[in-house]
């Protein structure tokens, strides 16, 4: 069994620290097990009070914004993980799981801290795409529609698997279904927001995010835009709409 992931809790009251520590005890039999540590230098990740200015400054000064889950209403610019109060145990664990899976966008943080530099990101010749949908049928259909454009596609049926792919590869385009089912910690909008935070932090700057959904009324498209997506496609996919979007991405069909 792998060692527990060490979490420093910064800026919270004693009551909140004890509460968070009790959450970690719920993870003893999980793939990702968490334990609280006292020193920032001993930690793999951080849970920080976003409303405690000195704590936010400390995390930023130690260049660990990408390794921190902030709780509160004032997360700093560049934060990858953030949630509001009240502190919900399942929400905290889901966010930490997603942060670990994302692996600081380049390489697993824990491996880097404990075992030295990690392996470089695998980068196949582009263009390449990540397709995220909880329906295997929808994934196969979208993959078939993208084949004439020469896109090399990886697929994921959950937000967790998508984050695993994003931690080891760079993608030109990510296609996200809005509804990812109960097996996912995040829906497509939440995953889009996570990718946007990664881009804002300086990684994956060239990655476009396209939402794909059966819900494509104007209000749905606005929600996608607010989540940070670069385009929105309705289901069932219309060939002309897909072609226009891919052309705007600078792609040309390789097959007729």
pLDDT digits (tens, 9 = 90+) for 225-256: 888 898 999 888 888 889 998 888 888 887 65
Q: Where does a domain end: 115, 138, 156? A: 115
- Determine, yes or no, domain membership for 253: no
**Higher confidence at residue 12 or residue 106?**
12
Q: Are residues 174 and 85 in the same domain?
A: no
Weakest-pLDDT range from 24-33, 80-89, 220-229, 235-244: 24-33
Q: Are residues 32 and 104 in the same domain?
A: yes
10 Å Cβ neighbour count for 226?
Answer: 11
Q: How far apart are CA 156 and CA 163, in angstroms?
A: 9
The candidate with the shortest Cα–Cα distance to 136, out of 181, 190, 195, is 181
pLDDT tens for 98-140 read 888 766 343 444 444 444 333 444 455 568 899 999 988 889 8
Residues spanned by the domain of 139: 128-248
The candidate with the shortest Cα–Cα distance to 67, out of 42, 43, 94, is 43
CB 207 within 8 A of CB 105: no
> What is the per-residue pLDDT for 166?
82
9 strand-pairing partners: 47
Q: Are residues 94 and 154 in the same domain?
A: no
Q: Are residues 74 and 136 in the same domain?
A: no
Q: Domain with 176 in it: what CATH number?
A: 3.40.50.2300
Based on the structure, what is the number of domains in the chain? 2
Pairing of strands 173-177, 208-213: parallel
Mean pLDDT of the chain: 82
For residue 211, pLDDT beyond 90: yes
For residue 159, pLDDT beyond 60: yes
Percent of the chain with pLDDT over 90: 16
Q: Where does a domain end: 115, 145, 170? A: 115
Q: How far apart are CA 12 and CA 210, in angstroms?
A: 37
- Determine, yes or no, domain membership for 254: no
- Determine, yes or no, domain membership for 139: yes
CB 136 within 8 A of CB 113: no
CB 130 within 8 A of CB 166: yes
203 falls in which pLDDT band (50, 70, 90)?
low
Q: How far apart are CA 251 and CA 245, in angstroms?
A: 9
82 falls in which pLDDT band (50, 70, 90)?
confident
> What is the per-residue pLDDT for 176?
94
Q: Are residues 106 and 25 in the same domain?
A: yes
> What is the per-residue pLDDT for 202?
64
CB 199 within 8 A of CB 207: yes
> What is the per-residue pLDDT for 1?
62
> What is the per-residue pLDDT for 120?
43
> What is the per-residue pLDDT for 125?
55
HSE of 245, CA atoms in CB hemisphere, 13 A: 22
**Higher confidence at residue 138 or residue 31?**
138
């Amino acid at each position: 069994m792998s060692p527990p992931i060490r979490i420093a809790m910064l800026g919270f009251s004693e009551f909140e620290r004890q509460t968070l520590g009790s959450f970690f005890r719920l993870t003893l039999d999980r793939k990702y097990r968490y334990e609280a540590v006292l020193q920032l230098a001993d930690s793999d990740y951080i849970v920080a009070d976003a409303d405690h200015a000195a704590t936010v400054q400390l995390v930023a000064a130690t260049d660990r914004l990408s390794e921190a889950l902030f709780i509160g209403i004032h997360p700093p610019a560049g934060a990858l993980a953030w949630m509001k109060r009240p502190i919900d145990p399942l929400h905290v664990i889901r966010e930490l799981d997603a942060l670990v899976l994302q692996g600081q966008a380049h390489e697993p943080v824990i491996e880097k801290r404990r075992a030295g530099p990690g392996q470089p990101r695998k980068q196949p010749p582009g263009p390449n795409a990540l397709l995220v949908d909880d329906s295997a049928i929808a994934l196969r259909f979208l993959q078939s529609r993208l084949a004439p454009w020469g896109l090399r596609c990886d697929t994921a049926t959950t937000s967790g698997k998508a984050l695993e792919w994003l931690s080891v590869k760079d993608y030109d385009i990510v296609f996200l279904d809005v509804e990812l089912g109960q097996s996912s910690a995040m829906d497509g909008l939440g995953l889009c927001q996570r990718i946007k935070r990664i881009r804002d932090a300086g990684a994956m700057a060239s990655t476009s995010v396209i939402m794909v959904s059966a819900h494509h009324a104007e209000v749905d498209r606005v929600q996608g835009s607010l989540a940070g997506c670069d385009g929105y496609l309705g289901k069932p996919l219309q060939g002309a709409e897909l072609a226009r979007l891919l052309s705007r991405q600078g792609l040309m069909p390789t097959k007729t």
